Amino acid sequence: MAGRWRNSLFWRFLCAMMLASCAGVTVTVAGNAILDNWRVSEAFSSPALTRAFERELAPNAALLAQARQSPEICRLVLHELSARVLTDRLPAIKGPNRVSRALDGGRVFVRYQWPDGVTCRFPNGVGSAASSDAQGNGKTVTLTVRSPVEPGATLTVGMFVLSPLASLLHSDDVSWTVIGLYVLVINFCSVLVLVPLLVKRIRKAERAASAWTDGDLAARIEDGGKDEFGRLTTSFDEMADALSSMIEMKLALAASQERNRLARDLHDTAKQRAFALGLQLTALKKHGAANVDSANLTRASLALVSHLQQDLADVIRRLSAPTIAEIGLRRALSDSIDALLAGARARWTLHLSHDDERALEVVPDIARQLLLISIEACANVLKHAAATHVELAFSRLDDTYTLKIADDGQGFDARRVEALGMGLSNMRLRANSLPHGELHLASSPGKGAEITVSFQLTL
């Protein structure tokens, strides 16, 4: 149990979400740094910044001239001038490259040079910026402005802009510890909610797969979701349906092959032996014609052999009947009943709509029972009814299907159904095996007979 918990989806989801969150935070900070770098570069290349410094130099020229003899005052003036202009022109910079941090960190340098070559710098040296630039931690952008009131004097302003990676490492706008804890708590709670929902669906699919492994292809996942996992389980359910249908088809074909084998064996063994026995009894009848008792016994034996041959023919015909899966219900009925009534004076008709045929072929077990009932009923007509016409009619009302088999033969007393023997019993058993199946028999002497089979089928 402990091993299963260690290998559960919970930890995988948590690690994946933590990595995704950390990557998202890193990309966001790096994206802001790239945007800040672009804003600084655009500002230093813009004429608007040049004009802003020119406007500031005009009222401060006299102050700079007084501060020429005092480097400390000169640096203070340059600091205030650059801070005022850059802060006003770069208000959107919020990260490590914002003006206040760059000034405090010595990454903004200003140099004022008079026409005679005397210079005033802020800060004292700019070597730190140059060394940082050389190490690949950023780049330096500069701007040179000519004094509008003192010809020949120039103001040079530069700023070392940190690279995105350096900005990420030097960012102190947020607490990385607080962000880490926040991400951990949020992701942990999210995983606690999401994983049980997914695991519940996975276990449902696992139970269905276990049932399939045990041979129960009737089990279904039935997830019902519309997402990727739901579509996957729907595909698995459809696969199980296809496998079940294929196995049923193979079983039906195997059963058909076995019935055909039994029919061939009966034809080649029992039927041939009954035929040989009939020939021998016929020969015995000729030789023992003088003995009345022997002749009577021989005639009775020949009658039994004739019935035996007929019974074997009926069994062989039923076993070798074509399957619905092979040729369809309509052709199976036509082939079987045509072969049964061949040579007889009775004719037959079939009423079966294409819609009903397709609906019944979807359930081959039910269609086969109807086929066998029809064959048995026509066999009884051939043996007992002396009919000239047999009608088979399929009909449907809502989800109730009806098969009527009627003949115009001599009929019989329906109250004495034992006249039909095992044939009627077999038909009734087959009818009762259908969903809510029933069989009704109606007949009277001289008025033919009608067998009605009804059952329910919901597709």
- Cα–Cα distance measured from residue 190 to residue 421, given in angstroms and rounded to the nearest whole number: 74
Q: What are phi and psi of 289, to 5 degrees?
A: -65, -25
**pLDDT score of 434:** 92
- The CA distance from 27 to 21, in Å, is 10
Surface-to-core class of residue 176, CB atoms within 10 Å of its CB (0-12 exposed, 13-18 middle, 19+ buried): exposed
Among 378, 372, 316, smallest CA distance to 346 is for 378
Predicted pLDDT of residue 43 = 86
Q: Determine the Cα angle at 372 with ends 302 and 366, to 5°.
A: 165
Length of the chain counted residue by residue: 459
Is 96 within 8 Å of 165 (Cβ atoms)?
no
Type and span of the H or E element at 452: strand 449-456
Dihedral pair phi/psi, residue 452, rounded to 5°? -120, 125
All CATH 3.30.565.10 domain ranges of the chain, comma separated, are: 327-459
Report the C-alpha gap between 245 and 325 in whole angstroms.
Answer: 11
Q: Give the pLDDT confidence score for residue 130 in this predicted structure.
A: 41
Which residues have CB under 8 Å from 68's CB, separation 6+? Answer: 74, 114, 118, 120
The predicted pLDDT at position 403 comes to 94
* CA 160 remoteness from chain centre: 56
Residue 358 CA from chain centroid, whole number: 28
Per-residue model confidence (pLDDT) at position 365: 83
Strand pairing of 449-456 and 400-407? antiparallel
Q: Is 300 exposed, middle or buried (0-12, 13-18, 19+ CB in 10 A)?
A: exposed
The two structure tokens encoding residue 2 = 């402990």
Distance CA 25, CA 20 (A): 9
- Distance separating alpha carbons of residues 55 and 274, to the nearest angstrom: 130
- Alpha carbon distance 439, 429 (integer Å): 9
Please state, in angstroms and rounded to a whole number, the distance separating the CA atoms of residues 452 and 438.
8
Residue 186 and residue 170 in contact, taking contact as beta carbons nearer than 8 Å: no
Q: Is 26 left (phi over 0), alpha (psi -120 to 50) or beta?
A: alpha
Name the CATH topology of 327-459: Heat Shock Protein 90 (3.30.565)
In angstroms and rounded to an integer, the radius of gyration of the C-alpha atoms of the chain is 51
pLDDT value for 177: 66
DSSP β-bridge partners for residue 453: 403, 439
Q: Does residue 444 come out as left (phi exceeding 0), alpha (psi in the -120 to 50 range) or beta?
A: beta
The angle formed by the CA atoms of residues 107, 163 and 145, to the nearest 5 degrees, is: 45
List Cα–Cα distances, 400 to 333, 360, 364, 393, 394, in angstroms: 21, 12, 17, 14, 11
pLDDT at 402: 95
Q: Which token pair is 49?
A: 């910044």
- Of 148, 165, 171, 147, the C-alpha closest to 157 is 147
Q: Which of the residues in the chain have pLDDT under 70?
A: 1-10, 12, 124-136, 168, 170-179, 256, 260, 263-281, 283-300, 302-326, 416-422, 459
Residues contacting 209, CB < 8 A, separation 6+: 236
Half-sphere CA count of 153, side-chain side, radius 13 A:
20
Give the pLDDT of residue 271.
59
Q: Map residue 219 onto helix, strand or coil.
A: coil
